[in-house]
Structure 1
Amino acid sequence: MRSALLRRNGFWLVVALVLALVSALGASLVQTNAGSVTVKDLKWETASGRMMNALLFTPNGATADEPAPAIVVSHGWWNNREMQAANYVELARRGYVVMSIDMYGHGNSDPLPADELAVGGTGMYDAVLLLADLPYVDRDRIGVSGHSNGARAANFSIPLDDASGDPLIASVLLVDNDPVYTDADGAYANVYGARDVGLIQAQYDEFFFRSYSPEGVPLTAPRDYLGTPNAQSFLHFGAAPEDVADEVREQGTVYTESIDGTEAMRVIYSLPQTHPWTTISSTAVGHLVDFFEESLGAPQPMDAGNQLWQLKEFFTALGLIAFGILLVTVPRALLETRAFRALAVPAAPAAALSGRIPAIWFWGGLVVSVVISGWSYILLSQTPAVLGITFNVVPSIVPQGSIFFIGVWAAINGLAALVLMAGAYVAFAKKSGMDLRAVGVLPGWRSFLHGIGLALTTVVLVYAVVFVLDFLFKTDFRLWVIGVKWFSVDKIGLALFVLPLFLIYFVANSVAINAFNRFTIAGREWVNTAILAIANSLAPVVLVVAQYTVFAISGELIPGFGGIFSIWLFPVIVILAVTAIISRKLYRATNNPYIAGFLNAAIVALISVSNSLVITY
């Protein structure tokens, strides 16, 4: 029996490693356009005196003799350079030199000072300066594009470019953030000058494209943006809306005007989608391709519908699946080594869920847990003291406010789980003969610490796969907003900062799932595992569905429940379900719930801190 389990684990370990390699190879083939685009991982000290990290994509056709147009692309707040994969893949295929940056405070660039949020255009203008010095870049054809706060970085860069005495930015495509409509005096103006400027606008944007009264009350929803004075002024090159009221301009039409002897263009692409969806929208990518071909000229023109970035997304998603499998198969394989063999104590078979009292505690406990999870999340999203830290409004020792918010929420739910388990134990489990040592709740200090060693060894080995494949192929494992990537050494300290909060939740959750709620249902243990995985994610699912149902119907979000809070739940839904499954599988091999608790907490902490924003005070 033991050898059969070992063979199965060995098989899945090999499958995971092969999937990871296929993921990296396939993603690399797509982003290098089958070898015709060179990819470099850059880190340099910029003109602002800070270290910036970026990916540089150089097509073979870009040479000193035939310099190519170049474009800087940027992610939004709480993200990193790989979030621009769809854009840099398609632009590089068409012959543009492309630089995808980690804005300051993000990815592996230097932290962002709280009192200098616009420094170097948050890094975008510093990237433009580097591109302009490359011999194979046509410095007269440099564009910038950013999503969300990446678009704000583009807006930060324009006055820097104007003040330089040698303007470099010829073209600007803003994605899911408002253009600048007015000058310093509040009057409508053409702040972009003779540059070509386009806007991709989500009609269900959680943050932008609203009109407000002088008192700050929203007057129009994002889906009504095109008819607003702001949109019409933008399409009329900064004209006062009352002066052009007789000519209503439309989305999708390129408008041109001579500015200082240069023919400039303005265009808005208005799409029926949400703010985060734009990053993986083939329609948005098509508009980006069309805009820059119209503005800068594509060295290798292709139809906008000719897109291959979805293949890269497929391959990196394979890597994400491989990563999840490795989190189970690597520790199981380590149990066969001398160092960790003592931990290989298979758990007893699961008993059937029988009896009225156990059933009430099982199902009732799940309902209470889901309610507490949803209620506590909403409560935190409306607590000023927490929000001040989360959004860096007040100075604090917390370097990553968004991760702190999720960590505090996790800890609250971990503490609630401990209370429920204590209640269950006192109410019926102890009387029914539950042995806390037998089910692993009290494994002894030696096994407890030994299990932590197994968890940490697993983290090192699994992330070694991520690091090696990044080094060889410049790819990571991701699907949309869930990303597992290499990280710089400073991320370890950031992870340790939030690790205690995640430990409270994941350790308590693992104990609850395995020692208190492990049963067979309908004669199968996997049914129980599936129910617990769903229960872990149910509150976030309900909150997300409620938010976007209201948004679709009314055009606005649920009052008092900001859009960022539902967006942050997208990766959480998957993570909570997957970690429940990992927890159960490792418990069955060790009878120790703390191994998976520590492993899940460490992995989630590292994933979180390497995909967010670092602010310093």
Structure 2
Amino acid sequence: MSLTRKQVGLLALSLLLVFSGSALAQWGQTAGGDIDVERVEIETDDGGTIDGYLYVPDGVSADDPAPGVLAIHGYINSKETQSSFAIEYARRGHVVLAIDQPGHGYSDPPAFANGWGGPPALEYLADHELVDEDNIGLEGHSMGGWAAVSAAAEHPDSYESVVLVGSSTGSAGAPEGNETFPRNLGVVFADYDEFHWLMWESATGPATPQSEKLQSVFGTDDEIAEGEVYGSIDDGTARALYTPRTTHPGAHHTPSAVSDTVGWTQRTLEGADEEPGDHVWYWKEIGTAIALLGGFLFLVPAGAVLTSREPLADATRTVPDAVTERDRGWYVAALLAAVVPVVLYYPTMLFGSQAMPVTAITPQGETNGIVLWALANVVVIAGLFGLWHRNSGRSLGDERYGLDIGDGAATIAKSLAVAVGVVGGLYVLLWIVDTVFMTDFRAWVLGLKLMSTLHARIFVTYLPAFLAFFVALGVLLHGRLRTPETTRSLPRAMATNAIILTGGFALLLVIQYGTLFATGALAVPITALQTIIAFQFLALLPVIAVVSTYFFHRTGRIWAGAFVNALLITWLIVASQAIHYPF
């Protein structure tokens, strides 16, 4: 096979998106060069380290220190998700420290250690020569809010104000709040926050102003009035509630939530008076999203390059004929393929993350849930495909299934080599972007990050389970559901498979969020975390479908696509999830 002009064009387009998007992201992250962003490492008392970004505005020096802000992300996020807040704080003259919580990003595990990372990070910021130690604010989103409250409790003389975004005092072991603690407390809690029941113990998101827990912290028995300042800023007893019309994860990327957050800190610290509504952070988010799109697009022409060159081209062949028609049986199989993964989703995710032991082999709680979901799907696919296959009278090695191995181990090895080359090429691209622009590939909470050495070890332990899933998925899509029409048309095959894989999760989110926006609570409130994670499934499943389908049409077998997806998705999940085992 040789490269076509279209494939060369796709390669050029993917690289253009990666590097132009990353350049735009860097421009946004540095506010056009007015902010210097540097990597820092904080030592903890237990011998570990916390990784962070320090945002330093132009003109700040040891002789002219600036007010400081500690910005802390939530569970299974990383410091990059604090960009919207950090950039806007820094533009207004604050030195900002955004950290990876313990067990997240590049900070040492386990998760939840050292007060979620808040106390040692505050110590570092207060001792920094560029920071006015008497003029420091704390900001935390979700679990990051608990880290901020822990920092305030452990170092009561090292901060002036706190703003909790989608967070609370007194939850999950965080210190309780009252009329005077934390000092000068701002609460930015979305109208449709999925965790209303966990944070402020309210029946719905819109009912949060009536929460007795919140009222006790505000020192009143009445419904909290949004935007009204209770207490006194000068006395350190000020409290204010803001309820932007967004969701828990949406508070990162909603201008009103960012303005409310930055505005409270400006009111309670000295030295910043710029309007809180003037933003540039979204350029960073647009840029990383463009780069992520380019990175995913890169997989296709990279695959074309590798499968067109000897000796790897020996593992390819023309696409075999289909073994099914789009009849009633096909529609039943397609419906099951869309519905069964969703039916399995909550039970396996909840059981896997809570009941599967955290060990050196399975050290990530939420990844354990995803693995259990994947393996449950393997069992169901194998059972249903086995029943259909038994009634067909065909051999399991029928080349039309795409399961055959051609020249044996050599075909498998060459398919694996293609996948390593494709995903390795994407990894190199991300390494270049990280080195040159200090950004990653990201859209909202879906991020593709470089792996640390520890991530690489964990990657190896989870890879076999994900490989089993993608092999089974390849058999389902290209052995059971491939029709003559989708055999002849690659775009039609990609679209069909993407709809099948994504449709069930799209319906799930419509039901959950339709209920949330109508009633103020999810249809099943205790599944809030898993429901938010489902957004990543919604984004990744079309990519998985396109990759699997493209490589099947390119090679005539399922192996290369399964290997590419397994390497890519295992990398993405492992690098973005929290590590709970204390390595």
Q: Scaled by the length of structure 2, what TM-score is found?
A: 0.92
1:18-43: CA deviations, max 9, x gaps?
21111111101111111121111223
Partners of 1:565 and 1:588 in 2: how far apart?
34
CA distance in 1, matches of 2:347, 2:185: 41
- 2:454 maps to what in 1? 490
Counterpart of 1:178 in structure 2 is 168
Q: Distance in 2 between matches of 1:39 and 1:105?
A: 22
1:479 is aligned to 2:435 = no
Q: How has the CA–CA distance of structure 1 residues 326 and 84 changed in structure 2, closer, same or farther, with 3 Å as cutoff?
A: same
**CA-based RMSD:** 2.7
User: Secondary structure of 2:207's partner?
Assistant: helix
Partner of 1:37: 35
For the pair 1:229 / 2:212, whether they are aligned, the reply is yes
Deviations 1:475-494, CA, capped at 9 Å, x for gaps: 01111121011221111111
3-state DSSP of counterpart to 1:421? helix
Equivalent of residue 250 in structure 1, options 209, 225, 236: 225
The Cα offsets for residues 156-194 of structure 1, whole Å up to 9 and x where unpaired, read as 1122113xxxx211111111112349x9998x833526x
Indicate if the aligned counterparts of 1:353 and 1:521 stay in contact, CA closer than 8 A. Answer: no
2:403 matched to 1:441? Answer: yes
How far, CA to CA, are the matches of 2:353 and 2:282 in structure 1?
36
Matches of 1:293 and 1:131 in 2, distance apart? 18
Partner of 2:260: 287
Question: 2:128 matched to 1:134?
Answer: yes
Instruction: Report the CA distance between 1:449 and its aligned residue.
Output: 2.0
Q: Does 1:470 align with 2:434?
A: yes
Question: For 1:408-557, what aligned pairs fall within 5 Å after superposition?
Answer: 408-428=372-392, 430=394, 436-437=398-399, 440-443=402-405, 444-521=408-485, 524-557=489-522
Residue in 2 that maps onto 1:111: 109
Gaps of at least 5 residues in structure 1 are 213-217, 237-243
- Structure 1 equivalent of residue 346 of structure 2: 378
Note the C-alpha offset of 1:583.
Answer: 1.1
How many angstroms apart in 2 are the aligned matches of 1:605 and 1:184? Answer: 32
**Offset of residue 590 of structure 1:** 1.1
Counterpart contact for 1:331–1:454, Cα < 8 Å? yes
Counterpart residue identity of residue 213, structure 2 = N
The residue that corresponds to 1:574 in the other structure is: 539
Distance 1:133 1:560, change over 3 A: closer
Cα distance change of structure 1 residues 159 and 66 upon mapping to structure 2, 3 Å threshold = same
Report how far residue 597 of structure 1 moved. 0.5
- SS of structure 2 residue aligned to 1:286: helix
Residues 1:298 and 1:347: Cα distance change in structure 2 (over 3 Å)? farther
Contact 1:59 1:92 in 2 (8 A): yes
The aligned counterpart of 1:197 is 185
Alpha-carbon shift at residue 58 of structure 1 (Å)? 0.8
Rounded Cα–Cα distance in structure 2 between residues aligned with 1:343 and 1:549: 47
Which has more strand, going by share of residues? 1
Q: In 2, Cα distance between the equivalents of 1:85 and 1:142?
A: 18
Quickly say closer, same or farther: Cα 1:533–1:429, change in 2 above 3 A.
farther
Give the Cα separation in 2 of the matches to 1:36 and 1:478. Answer: 23
| 1:138 CA drift (Å) | 0.8
CA distance in 1, matches of 2:441, 2:142: 23
Distance (whole Å) between structure 2 residues aligned to residue 420 and residue 609 of structure 1: 30
The alpha carbon displacement at 1:553 in A equals: 2.8
Q: What are the Cα deviations for residues 417-469 of structure 1, in whole angstroms up to 9, with x where unaligned?
A: 233333333323729xx972355311232201221122122222211110111
The equivalent residue for 1:241 is none
Summarize the Cα distance change of 1:79–1:249 in structure 2 as closer, same or farther, 3 Å threshold: closer
Paired residue type of 2:295:
F
Q: CA–CA distance in 2 between the matches of 1:332 and 1:251?
A: 56
Partners of 1:519 and 1:211 in 2: CA distance: 50
1:44-443 map, 5 Å: 44-112=42-110, 117-119=112-114, 121-162=115-156, 167-180=157-170, 189-190=178-179, 192=181, 195-208=183-196, 220-236=203-219, 244-245=220-221, 249-257=224-232, 262-299=235-272, 301-348=273-320, 354=325, 359-381=327-349, 383=351, 386-389=352-355, 398-428=362-392, 430=394, 436-437=398-399, 440-443=402-405
Q: Aligned in 2, Cα 1:395/1:342: closer, same or farther, shift over 3 Å?
A: closer
Residues 565 and 161 from structure 1, CA distance in 2 versus in 1: closer, same or farther, beyond 3 angstroms?
A: same
Q: Per-residue deviation at 1:498?
A: 1.7
Is the counterpart of residue 589 in structure 1 residue 577 in structure 2?
no
Partner of 1:215: none
1:272 and 1:500 mapped to 2: Cα distance?
Answer: 42
Superposed CA offset, 1:76-111 (max 9, x none): 011111111111121112221111110001001000
Q: Deviations over 1:275-294 (max 9, x none)?
A: 11111111100101211111
CA distance in 2, matches of 1:561, 1:141: 39
The offset of 1:56, in angstroms, is 1.1
Q: CA deviation at 1:257?
A: 2.4
Matched, 1:8 2:30: no
Where 1:273 maps in the other structure, the secondary structure is coil
Residues of 1 paired with 2:174 and 2:466: CA distance? Answer: 45
Instruction: Give the Å deviation of 1:376.
Output: 1.4
Residue identity matched to 2:277:
G
Cα–Cα, structure 1 residues 258 and 325, in superposed 2: closer, same or farther, change >3 Å?
closer
In structure 2, C-alpha distance between the alignment counterparts of 1:145 and 1:63, rounded to whole Å: 23
Tell me: CA distance 1:34–1:509, structure 2 relative to 1, closer, same or farther (3 Å).
Answer: same
How far the C-alpha of 1:46 sits from its partner, in A, is: 3.0
Residue 231 of structure 2: SS of its match in structure 1? strand
Relative to structure 1, is the Cα distance of residues 323 and 337 closer, same or farther in structure 2, using a 3 angstrom cutoff?
same
Aligned length: 578
Judging changes above 3 Å, is the alpha-carbon distance between structure 1 residues 184 and 323 closer, same or farther for their aligned structure 2 residues? closer
**After superposition, what is the alpha-carbon deviation per residue over 1:481-529, rounded to whole angstroms, capped at 9, x for unaligned?**
2101122111111122221221121111123222332224498453343
2:515 maps to amino acid: V
Amino acid at match of 1:506: F
Could you tell me whether the CA contact under 8 Å between 1:514 and 1:587 is conserved in 2?
A: yes
Query: Is contact 1:347–1:439 with CA below 8 Å preserved after alignment?
Result: no
Q: Are the structure 2 counterparts of residues 172 and 209 from structure 1 closer, same or farther at C-alpha, using a change threshold of 3 Å?
A: farther
Q: How far apart, in 1, do the equivalents of 2:577 and 2:208 lie?
A: 29
Q: Is the 8 A contact 1:441 1:592 kept in 2?
A: yes
Confirm or deny: 8 A CA contact 1:211 1:221 kept in the other structure: no
> Which residue identity is paired with 2:227?
G
Local SS of the residue matching 1:272: coil
Q: Secondary structure at the match of 1:303?
A: coil
Alpha carbons 1:210, 1:220 under 8 Å: kept: no
- Counterpart of 1:307 in structure 2: which amino acid? H
SS at match of 1:371: helix
Q: Deviations over 1:532-582 (max 9, x none)?
A: 211112222222222222223333333475211211110011211111111
Cα contact 1:529–1:580 (8 A) shared by 2:
yes
Secondary structure at 1:22's aligned position in 2?
Answer: helix
